[in-house]
């Protein structure tokens, strides 16, 4: 009789011990050791020893840099020879912290506080709802409708508006110039605040006008007090600094008043219908100028322009290649569009378009930057305005960007906080349209050829040829129109340096126009057109005033200079109401398109770089040249752009030093003016937040894709390799692939071939693809067997859809001033931490000889 193998005896013994200890016989050694000390929990109870042992193991693996599955020898070695630990980052990873922001994706700090205080907030919320249920409900919407009806009735009374405006002006002058005691000034502020809070809850334009009127009253009162009471200085050096600050404030008052006029009544123009007979539709030449952009950026725009819904015999697309590249000539020939180039490359983009005007003959000209992809409905949306108004020379549509700009990418605010251009294309251009002052913006626009040729083509005297061209058209008495309906989308600037370069060109060009073709010095414009153009030009002179505001508190903190000839209580009684009321009014007007306090961040970033170009252009308008904004690049690793951020770092250091000087001053030489010292320290602290945010923007985040993914939810059909089809939906798209949402998980290996069918109306298009990623019900596809025909079909189903961008405004989160303030302060704090991280990285690279880490 054969004896059982020793292995069998060991396995039986192992199973017996496992049964006694309550572990699986195949469990790891750590589990066996744990059960020798701690018994298995009863059914339904949590195994706390296992939980804590697993956490302890994770911590030890992190501390010793151990991988899963390492043997006992490796663990023993690590106990004596530790690896070099990775330095902990001070700044937060804003992308990984998104879960703190909640459904509205608000401030990370407020999100964390909300989690900590959730029980308290819940109790407060229940109490507030209980109190609200007992109070009468105010029908704010019906109040707004009633106000609109009253205003409509008053409009029918002749000369009533003129009388009301005259009486309002007389009342305003009395309001501005009537002296009040300090306590009465504070009571006035409280009263105005109460009216503003009530008006803020009433929808409609007239409550907005009431808030603007109150802001003008409080600003005028502050101006009168500032001029008559605060310009008395003890020494000449104080007078110099004091009048510099006063001049900067005069600039802000002018821009504030002009801005109120410019955006007082957004027109919200709607498209005009086209004639039913397509034979009567005019011919349109589509210009797509390019210089040094890659073909991957240009080809979607060209193919989308070809696919616009317009009679084919009346639509001609031209690729204007100022780089004279063979590759582009072959591409134009392959897709059937015109290709124009020139031997003499003068006047950059303006010269390129003017050269094309001489070689084409369409009645209208549509211009698209080479990265702005039009929808198929672009011409049908815009051309009706020209048919309805023969004097209309230009129709402009918004510039929309489906990729984040440096602010949005580096601070993870994309589709959460409106970007820098949202205010201009969402509100300012619509306000300009009311005064017939819509600007040509160089792209996404249609121009009537005859008026354009009448003014000599696109303006070449300045580097902002677009705005200058529209100014010339308005001087000739032509009308322009703005449709706030996104009909094209493009790429935003990838890097902060590129973004600043683009803004420098705009600032230089506006200064050139202000110098050589000032809207106040020549005939042809209405009064309000002059205001709209002037405000657009004056806006780019904010560099010097912003730098004054960023450095002025240090004049007192360092040297004790009183730049304000008033006591601290008077400053609080007049300055704070002026700032608070104007902030509330601007939040009401701009809230959907510009959040509170973010203008200060944008201006702080750009101020240093716009001072010199605007000053030189104002003195000598012929200086400076057109620079092309780079598009389609890739940031492969994160880094702090030291060259760009250097001015902010110096200003930040000066304000931080000012805070230290203020602490010293309040306990030594300035004991008799503690409130004055504290007010200047608060001002410097606010500057630190703004400059910290500016430095933080210079920390370029890593960009993982060249092709940006755009959200899109439409039905699609997935076709598997075996012919099986699955109905699903798209999640996002790019020029290189699709993101899909499946009804259930599907086991597909990476690289597995399949296909996807998308529809454009009644037409279905099939795209062969492979699996790029598979995570649960989310599937990423990468297209294969690509051709211009397939790219055209994809564009027609995605970028070129008539409804591709119609809901862009709904994605914007309305402004909440307090939350915006907290968010900006938080960004400033994170920016300072990013600066410290970058300094430590630089020190490591120099002293430890370790390459800078790329997260």
Evaluate if residue 633 carries a pLDDT over 60: no
Question: Which two structure tokens, joined as six digits, stand for 204?
Answer: 């409609």
Kindly report the CA angle at 400 between 397 and 405, in degrees rounded to 5?
145
pLDDT in tens, 820-838: 888 888 889 888 888 888 8
Kindly report the CA angle at 558 between 554 and 562, in degrees rounded to 5?
70
Q: Place 138 in a pLDDT band, splitting at 50, 70 and 90.
A: low
Evaluate if residue 689 carries a pLDDT over 90: yes
Q: Which pLDDT belongs to residue 412?
A: 83
Evaluate if residue 854 carries a pLDDT over 50: no
pLDDT > 90: what percent of the chain? 44
Q: Which pLDDT belongs to residue 133?
A: 67
Q: Which pLDDT belongs to residue 777?
A: 85
Q: How far apart, in whole angstroms, are the C-alpha atoms of residue 36 and residue 33?
A: 5
Q: Lowest-confidence range among 113-122, 287-296, 510-519, 534-543?
A: 113-122
Give backbone dihedrals phi and psi of 841, rounded to 5 degrees, phi first: -60, -45
* H helical segments located in 363-517: 378-388, 406-410, 422-423, 429-434, 449-454, 465-475, 496-516
pLDDT in tens, 266-283: 999 999 999 999 999 999
Evaluate if residue 707 carries a pLDDT over 70: no
Q: How far apart, in whole angstroms, are the C-alpha atoms of residue 717 and residue 507?
A: 49
Question: Which two structure tokens, joined as six digits, stand for 218?
Answer: 């409080």
Neighbouring C-alpha atoms within 13 Å toward the C-beta of 626: 18
Evaluate if residue 594 carries a pLDDT over 60: yes
pLDDT in tens, 642-676: 888 899 999 999 999 999 999 998 888 777 788 88
Which residue from 342, 89, 5 is spatially nearest to 852, judged by alpha carbons? 89
Q: Which pLDDT belongs to residue 668?
A: 84
* H helical segments located in 591-724: 598-619, 642-667, 674-697
Q: Lowest-confidence range among 195-199, 411-415, 740-744?
A: 411-415
pLDDT in tens, 312-362: 999 999 999 998 999 999 999 999 999 999 988 889 899 999 999 999 999
Q: Place 814 in a pLDDT band, splitting at 50, 70 and 90.
A: confident
Q: How far apart, in whole angstroms, are the C-alpha atoms of residue 652 and residue 829?
A: 12
Evaluate if residue 705 carries a pLDDT over 60: no
Average pLDDT, the chain: 85
Q: How far apart, in whole angstroms, are the C-alpha atoms of residue 582 and residue 219?
A: 8
CB 454 within 8 A of CB 391: no
Q: Place 21 in a pLDDT band, splitting at 50, 70 and 90.
A: low
Q: Which pLDDT belongs to residue 822?
A: 86
Q: Which pLDDT belongs to residue 105?
A: 47
- Exposed, middle or buried by CB within 10 Å (0-12, 13-18, 19+), for 777? middle
Q: Which pLDDT belongs to residue 228?
A: 92
Listed in sequence order, the residues at least 6 apart from 77 whose beta carbon sits closer than 8 Å to its beta carbon are none
Find the mean pLDDT for residues 775-781.
Answer: 86
Which residues are designated catalytic?
322, 466
Pick 84 or 265 by higher pLDDT.
Answer: 265
Kindly report the CA angle at 602 between 596 and 607, in degrees rounded to 5?
130
pLDDT in tens, 71-112: 777 777 766 666 665 667 777 777 666 544 544 445 555 566
Buried b or exposed e, range 421-440, using 16+ CB within 10 angstroms: bbbbbbbbbbbbbbbbbbbb
């Amino acid at each position: 009789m054969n004896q059982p193998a020793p292995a069998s005896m060991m396995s039986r013994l192992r199973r017996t011990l496992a049964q006694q200890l309550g572990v699986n016989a195949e469990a790891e050694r750590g589990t066996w050791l744990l059960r020798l000390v701690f018994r298995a929990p009863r059914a339904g109870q949590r195994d706390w020893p296992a939980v804590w042992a697993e956490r302890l193991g994770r911590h030890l693996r992190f501390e010793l840099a151990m991988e899963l599955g390492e043997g006992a020898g490796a663990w023993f070695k690590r106990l004596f020879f530790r690896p070099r630990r990775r330095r902990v980052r001070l700044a937060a990873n804003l992308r990984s912290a998104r879960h703190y922001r909640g459904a509205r994706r608000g401030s990370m700090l407020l999100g964390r506080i909300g989690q900590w205080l959730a029980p308290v907030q819940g109790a407060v919320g229940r109490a507030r709802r209980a109190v609200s249920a007992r109070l009468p409900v105010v029908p704010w919407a019906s109040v707004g409708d009633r106000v609109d009806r009253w205003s409509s009735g008053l409009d029918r009374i002749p000369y009533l508006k003129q009388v009301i405006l005259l009486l309002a002006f007389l009342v305003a002058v009395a309001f501005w110039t009537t002296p009040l005691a300090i306590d009465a000034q504070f009571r006035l502020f409280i009263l105005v605040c109460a009216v503003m809070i009530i008006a803020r809850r009433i929808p409609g334009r007239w409550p907005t006008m009431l808030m603007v009127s109150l802001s003008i009253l409080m600003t005028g009162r502050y101006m009168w007090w500032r001029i008559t009471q605060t310009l008395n200085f003890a020494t000449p050096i104080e007078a110099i600094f004091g009048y510099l600050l006063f001049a900067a404030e005069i600039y802000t008052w002018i821009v504030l008043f002009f801005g109120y006029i410019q955006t007082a009544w957004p027109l919200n123009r709607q498209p005009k219908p086209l004639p039913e007979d397509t034979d009567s539709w005019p011919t349109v030449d589509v210009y797509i100028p390019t210089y040094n952009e890659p073909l991957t950026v240009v080809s979607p725009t060209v193919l989308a322009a070809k696919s616009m819904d317009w009679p084919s015999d009346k639509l001609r697309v031209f690729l204007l290649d100022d780089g004279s590249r063979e590759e582009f000539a072959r591409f134009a020939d392959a897709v059937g569009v015109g290709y124009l180039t020139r031997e003499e490359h003068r006047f950059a983009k303006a010269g390129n378009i003017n050269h094309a005007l001489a070689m084409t003959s369409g009645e209208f000209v549509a211009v698209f930057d080479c990265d702005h992809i039009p929808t198929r409905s672009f011409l049908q949306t815009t051309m009706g305005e020209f048919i309805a108004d023969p004097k209309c020379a230009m129709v402009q549509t918004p510039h929309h960007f489906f990729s984040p700009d440096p602010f949005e990418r580096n601070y993870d605010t994309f589709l959460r906080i409106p970007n820098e251009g949202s205010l201009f294309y969402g509100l300012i251009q619509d306000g300009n349209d009311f005064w017939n002052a819509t600007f040509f913006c160089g792209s996404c626009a249609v121009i009537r050829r005859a008026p354009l040729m009448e003014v000599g083509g696109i303006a070449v005297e300045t580097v902002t040829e677009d705005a200058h061209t529209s100014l010339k058209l308005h001087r000739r008495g032509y009308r322009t129109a703005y449709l706030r309906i996104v009909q094209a989308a493009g790429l935003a600037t990838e890097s902060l340096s590129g973004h600043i370069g683009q803004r420098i060109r705009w600032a230089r060009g506006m200064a050139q126009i202000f110098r050589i073709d000032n809207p106040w010095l020549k005939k042809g414009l209405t009064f309000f057109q002059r205001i709209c153009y002037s405000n657009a030009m004056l806006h780019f002179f904010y560099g010097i005033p912003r730098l004054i505001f960023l450095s002025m508190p240090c004049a007192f903190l360092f040297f004790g200079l009183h730049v304000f000839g008033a006591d601290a209580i008077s400053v609080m009684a007049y300055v704070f109401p002026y700032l608070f009321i104007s902030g509330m009014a601007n939040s009401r007007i701009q809230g959907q398109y510009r959040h509170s306090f973010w203008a200060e961040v944008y201006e702080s970033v750009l101020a240093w770089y716009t001072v010199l170009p605007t000053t030189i252009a104002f003195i000598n308008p012929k200086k400076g040249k057109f620079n092309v904004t780079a598009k389609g690049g890739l940031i492969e690793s994160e880094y702090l752009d030291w060259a760009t951020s250097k001015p902010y770092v110096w200003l930040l250091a000066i304000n931080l030093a000012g805070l230290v000087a203020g602490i010293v001053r309040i306990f030594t030489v300035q004991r008799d003016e503690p409130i004055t010292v504290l007010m200047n320290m608060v001002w410097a602290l606010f500057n630190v937040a703004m400059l910290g945010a500016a430095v933080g923007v210079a920390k370029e985040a890593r960009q993982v894709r060249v092709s940006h993914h755009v959200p899109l939810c439409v039905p699609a059909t997935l076709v598997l390799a075996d012919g099986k089809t699955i109905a699903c939906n798209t999640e996002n798209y790019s020029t290189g692939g699709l993101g899909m949402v499946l009804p259930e998980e599907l086991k597909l290996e990476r690289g597995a071939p399949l296909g996807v069918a998308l529809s454009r109306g009644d037409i279905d298009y099939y795209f062969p693809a492979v699996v790029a990623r598979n995570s649960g019900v989310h599937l990423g596809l990468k297209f294969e067997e690509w051709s211009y025909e397939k790219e055209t079909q994809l564009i027609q189903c995605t970028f070129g859809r008539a409804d591709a961008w119609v809901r862009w405004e709904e994605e914007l989160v309305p402004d909440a001033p307090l939350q915006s303030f907290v968010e900006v302060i938080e960004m400033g704090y994170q920016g300072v931490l990013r600066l410290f991280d970058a300094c430590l990285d630089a020190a490591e690279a120099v002293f430890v000889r370790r390459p800078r880490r790329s997260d």
